[in-house]
Structure 1
Amino acid sequence: MDPADGNQDRSEQRLQSAASFKSFMMKTSTDSNLNLYDHFTRLLLKVMDEHPHNVVDVIEIMSHDVKRGLFKDKQNTLRDLPHTTAAELLAEQQRLLFSRPEEADQEEELIETPLPNVCEIGFYLEQVGVGLGREELQRVFLALKQLVESQALLRCRLWGKILGTESSYIIAEAEYREGEEEESQSTEEGAEEEEREAETQENEMDLLPQSTYKPPPAVPKEDLGTGANKYVYYVCKEPGLPWVKLPSVSPAQITVARQIRKFFTGRLDTPVVSYPPFPGNEANYLRAQIARISAGTQVSPQGFFQAGEEEGDEEDEAPRDSYEVNPDFEGVPVVEMAESLSTWVHHVQHILQQGRCTWVNLSVKPGEDSNEEGEAEEKEEEPDEPEPEVGPLLLTPLSQDAEMFNTLPWTSKVSSTLTPQHAVALLRSNLWPGAYAYACGKKFENIYVGWGLKYAGEGYSPPVPPPPQKQYQSGPEITECLDPSVEEEQVLKEALEEQQAAQEEMEDSDEEEEEDD
């Protein structure tokens, strides 16, 4: 056999084996949808382009990079996209609290601010073991500063924090400004006019008989700047979030709030489902609870405030609503304030059972004049005239507060007995858990941190609904009875005829006697 023929056969066999091996290398994988031939091609191109050092040591890594580069788009669809958490969003909003506007000058910042020294208040609250903590209190202080600048408030202070099931409320107390009353009255008058127009339209369209029942007159709301509406309150969920102004409170809301117990959810527009029905949503319920807590727990050292000049000589009239700082106040010793409740006084008016701080006579119509009232009294005095309700006067000592459920209304102590010269007097309310007050020299402050509920004793049982009213009173005139028989009707008819005949004889005899006379 010729050697040339053998070499030719072997070359053909190699070509056939190479072709079959190439087809094997180009076989597509069922998992990755790739083939070895294309992978080697890309790998060699990568080596030729990069010329790595010690390529034999990194060939496996380069092979892995080639595969990963092919699956990059598919891996992006499976990879979790980064999303911003609620904490990051809140931090981004709170970052604005620490930013200083470029236009602000140092001279403007040195002007007296309507905000108190929150850092100093936080220091004293730490001494007595209450408060919100340094970090949160600093953020709250910056949020209050932002509120004062945006609303141009005359005075603002941290009232406290009411906890909720979903989120909490940070509450700021601001002084009433002139002009706010006109806006609220205009909106209320507009709503009343709309209600009247709707009623007239219904009466014109509906010709059915109307009920003659007239509900009792509603207790009028106190004007802004007086009574329970003396201050304006703003709330926010977290420092940095927008502040929301709470509406003014009405006596009906305070009256119902005293009869129910509801936890706050943290959403102002949430309806309050309760019995008795509450006239409003959670914003109104929050405002009612703030008014109740302020009236019962806002206290100050005796002598710090004094009665206003306008009402100094009128102690026999309605409770005083105005007071001013006593410039001659020198402070009360801390030990004395911790031992005696008579050294503390209420500087917020007491809320009467009527739901107002000042009693109003509902029997007198607001349109009647004093002359007409005097003439009516001369003609006839009504025996059911209601007696005016009188509450404790302003600046009444805490020693006159009554106990409830065999529990003292207040608990007082000293922050430290080891260093009494630097101690702080603490006062804690037992009827409103979460209400605290401290005093040190000429400085004092009130704060509330709690759930916004009053102490109800060992157990609370909701009021039972009243029994349903009867449609009419039962009596013989309307009580259903059995029909009489024929014999009973005949007997009754004869009895009526005899009665009528006897009556006619009596009349005839009377006429004869008159004729004889």
Structure 2
Amino acid sequence: MADPSEEPGSRENSWPGHRADRPEPFASYQASYERDHGPIEPHEPGYGLYQPGYSPYDDQISDTKSRMLAIQNAKAYLLKSSTTSGLNLYDHLANMLTKILDEQPTNAVDIIENISKDVKWAQFQKKMDTLRDEHEILPTFEAAEKQKALFTKESGGGEEEQEEEIGESPLPNVMETAFYFEQAGIGLSKEESYHIFLALKKLISDYPVQTCRFWGKILGLEMNYIIAEVQFQEGEEEEEGEEEDDSEEREKEMGEDEDEDEDETKKKDEPPKSTYKPPPVIPKEENGTGANKYVYFVCNDPSNPWVKLPAVTPAQIVCARKIKKFFTGRLDAPIVSFPPFPGNEANYLRAQIARISAGTHISPIGFYQFPEEEGDDDEEGEGGRDTFEENPDFQPLSVAEMVDSVSAWVHHVRSILEQGRCVWFNPFQKSEEEEEEEEGEEKEEEPGELEREVGPPLLTPLSEDEGIQNIPAWTAYPSTTLIPQHAVAILQSNRWPGAFAFASGKKFDNIYFGWGHKYSPENQNPVLPPPVQAEYPSGPEITEGSDPTLEEENAFKAAKEQALADEEEQEEEQEEENEEEEEDDD
């Protein structure tokens, strides 16, 4: 029997490149196969794949059973699924070869890696229904659906109403402001700025707004806050005093109940009472004045509805100065800190906005002026004038002059005192009714007079701001030095990182982009708890007597017995004298 390796078309020669000593090409096998079975068509299902009887195992393993066992072991290994993706190599190779034979790309060996990636990617695609495809909703598509409402124009209203809106609308030109800040590399993308522009338009259509301004953006750990500064029309602002009134009434009721309880317990022996008196509650400033001059609306995304922040109280501002918390982006999130903050994240956000506005809202000198009618000395004595107006004769300074000296800028928002208010309030000052009620009662000792806090007046130059160690409070620079004739004056706050202001001719604006925290060269140190209250004063009514010794007890008994004996003798003597007097009378 002839050696099968010498026969033309043998199995070894039919496997191209199997052995270096088999130079016969694969074309001889293909020619013999086509002579017996016809030409091989590309569309046949097994085209180019392994054909039975032509395996590299055939000439290495002589035993048929051993050969089949080796094939089964190899196939079992290839069918082993991956613990990461759940796929197996056998199906992956089969799909790759099927894809190659179906598509027949040029130079398939050079793109075999890309074909493998395409096959894997197809395995993880969402399976489609035969009746209707299920399209995957991308996050960008969901965001576009939410923002679609910003681009829809409200139906109704003729040309006259549109002209009135264009002429009298308080809507600010956000895109123009963004253009000026963009000269210095400050601001948001044009897409987000335009979305905020449309969101502000929706805000002024929902509320009776007199003035509106894009305040800025405060960053959060989960979501960010987009903030709008609004001033309502006169008489349109909602009053928010019901909750406080209810709390005051409850406190009065509790006080009355305590007085009744005290009257009942006076008859009994009472322990010493505490002399601690809580500090008086500082009332908040009325809406439209001081720290509550403006109303602020926030939202996490321009497509979301605007949420009105509550008015700020002095206690919240005082506590906000002592803590430092990152915002989460959820207004109802609690503020866990020491000292405890009186409110949630919405109140903390409102307090930080008030602090940032009081310290960073500036304008070119001479742009605002005080009204001549309000120049009374009495009003200035209460902490300065609170109103100002635009100067019609304002002549802007050049960019070089506004950059060289910060004295060319002034504050147009009142500073907040240590008390937490812009106008100082005397907590011990009593009204006329309270004084009349106390005339008939005993006057209690009045505490010493508090020193009146007076802050810097409005329109104070920035040159009077205190620096931070060796760092100045403000840094001024032009937007460009290459084209100075078209430069914009930019001012950056070093005390509140993220606060900027620009001025170009008669146009200026303020904006804030940051985390809402004040710069501190030192580490944040929590406030220590207050000192422990002193003990009650010692005295004979409270001090406990010491136990006597045995000698003192014996001496006390002896003295007591002697005193009793002396009393008995005196009584006997007195009786004898009385008897003698009676005998004499007889």
Q: TM-score range by the shorter chain?
A: 0.7 to 0.9
The C-alpha deviation readout for 1:185-216, integer Å capped at 9, x for no partner, is 34532454456557768988999969775422
| 2:455 paired with 1:391 | yes
The secondary structure found in structure 2 opposite 1:437 is: strand
8 Å CA contact retained: 2:128, 2:134: no
Q: Which moved more, 1:111-120 or 1:279-288?
A: 111-120
The C-alpha deviation readout for 1:124-169, integer Å capped at 9, x for no partner, is 0100111112111110010000000111311100000000001010
Q: How much has 1:467 moved relative to structure 2?
A: 4.3
**What are the ranges of 5 or more consecutive residues in structure 1 without an aligned counterpart?**
1-57, 59-73, 499-517
The C-alpha deviation readout for 1:213-253, integer Å capped at 9, x for no partner, is 54222011100000000000000000010000000001011
Q: Which residue of 1 aligns with 2:118?
A: none
**Percent identical residues:** 57
Q: Which residue of 2 aligns with 1:246?
A: 309
8 Å CA contact retained: 2:208, 2:233: no
Q: How much has 1:465 moved relative to structure 2?
A: 2.3
Q: Which residue of 1 aligns with 2:198?
A: 142
Write out aligned runs for 1:379-418 (5 A): 384-418=448-482
Q: Which moved more, 1:186-195 or 1:273-282?
A: 186-195
Q: Which residue of 1 aligns with 2:149?
A: 96
Q: How much has 1:318 moved relative to structure 2?
A: 2.0
8 Å CA contact retained: 1:176, 1:230: no
TM-aligned CA distance change 1:380 to 1:458, over 3 Å: closer
Tell me how far apart the structure 2 counterparts of residues 181 and 497 of structure 1 sit (CA, whole Å): 88
User: Rg bigger for which structure?
Assistant: 2
Give the counterpart letter for 1:301 in structure 2. P
Aligned residues: 421
TM-aligned CA distance change 1:372 to 1:413, over 3 Å: farther
Give the TM-score of the pair, scaled to structure 2.
Answer: 0.65
**What are the ranges of 5 or more consecutive residues in structure 2 without an aligned counterpart?**
1-101, 103-126, 267-272, 563-586
Q: How much has 1:493 moved relative to structure 2?
A: 8.4
8 Å CA contact retained: 2:404, 2:476: yes
Q: How much has 1:80 moved relative to structure 2?
A: 12
Write out aligned runs for 1:38-53 (5 A): none
Q: 1:122 aligns with which of 157, 169, 178?
A: 178
Q: Which residue of 2 aligns with 1:350?
A: 415
Q: Which residue of 2 aligns with 1:131?
A: 187
Q: 2:220 aligns with which of 159, 164, 181?
A: 164
The secondary structure found in structure 2 opposite 1:154 is: strand
TM-aligned CA distance change 1:200 to 1:88, over 3 Å: farther
Q: How much has 1:89 moved relative to structure 2?
A: 2.9
Q: Which residue of 2 aligns with 1:189?
A: 245
Q: How much has 1:478 moved relative to structure 2?
A: 5.4
Tell me how far apart the structure 2 counterparts of residues 180 and 200 of structure 1 sit (CA, whole Å): 37
Q: 1:445 aligns with which of 495, 502, 509?
A: 509
Tell me how far apart the structure 2 counterparts of residues 75 and 381 of structure 1 sit (CA, whole Å): 85
Write out aligned runs for 1:446-465 (5 A): 446-465=510-529
Q: Which moved more, 1:205-214 or 1:436-445?
A: 205-214
Give the counterpart letter for 2:509 in structure 1. E
Q: Which residue of 2 aligns with 1:221?
A: 284
Q: Which residue of 2 aligns with 1:430?
A: 494
The secondary structure found in structure 2 opposite 1:457 is: coil
TM-aligned CA distance change 1:273 to 1:104, over 3 Å: same
The secondary structure found in structure 1 opposite 2:183 is: helix
8 Å CA contact retained: 2:208, 2:236: no
Give the counterpart letter for 2:297 in structure 1. Y
Q: 1:321 aligns with which of 361, 386, 408?
A: 386
Give the TM-score of the pair, scaled to structure 1.
Answer: 0.73
Tell me how far apart the structure 2 counterparts of residues 203 and 413 of structure 1 sit (CA, whole Å): 65
The secondary structure found in structure 2 opposite 1:90 is: helix
Q: 1:360 aligns with which of 425, 429, 438?
A: 425
TM-aligned CA distance change 1:138 to 1:492, over 3 Å: farther
The C-alpha deviation readout for 1:375-410, integer Å capped at 9, x for no partner, is 99xx99978211211110000000001123432111
Tell me how far apart the structure 2 counterparts of residues 387 and 289 of structure 1 sit (CA, whole Å): 26
The secondary structure found in structure 2 opposite 1:111 is: helix
Q: How much has 1:104 moved relative to structure 2?
A: 4.2
TM-aligned CA distance change 1:470 to 1:261, over 3 Å: same
Give the counterpart letter for 1:424 in structure 2. V
8 Å CA contact retained: 1:319, 1:349: no
The C-alpha deviation readout for 1:75-131, integer Å capped at 9, x for no partner, is 869x99766455433321111111112324444143232022111101101001111
Alignment RMSD, CA only? 3.7
The secondary structure found in structure 1 opposite 2:296 is: strand
Tell me how far apart the structure 2 counterparts of residues 206 and 488 of structure 1 sit (CA, whole Å): 42
Tell me how far apart the structure 2 counterparts of residues 302 and 289 of structure 1 sit (CA, whole Å): 26
| 2:341 paired with 1:341 | no
Tell me how far apart the structure 2 counterparts of residues 334 and 381 of structure 1 sit (CA, whole Å): 60
The secondary structure found in structure 2 opposite 1:428 is: strand
Q: Which residue of 2 aligns with 1:260?
A: 323
Q: Which residue of 2 aligns with 1:48?
A: none
Give the counterpart letter for 1:215 in structure 2. P
8 Å CA contact retained: 1:165, 1:263: yes
The secondary structure found in structure 2 opposite 1:353 is: coil
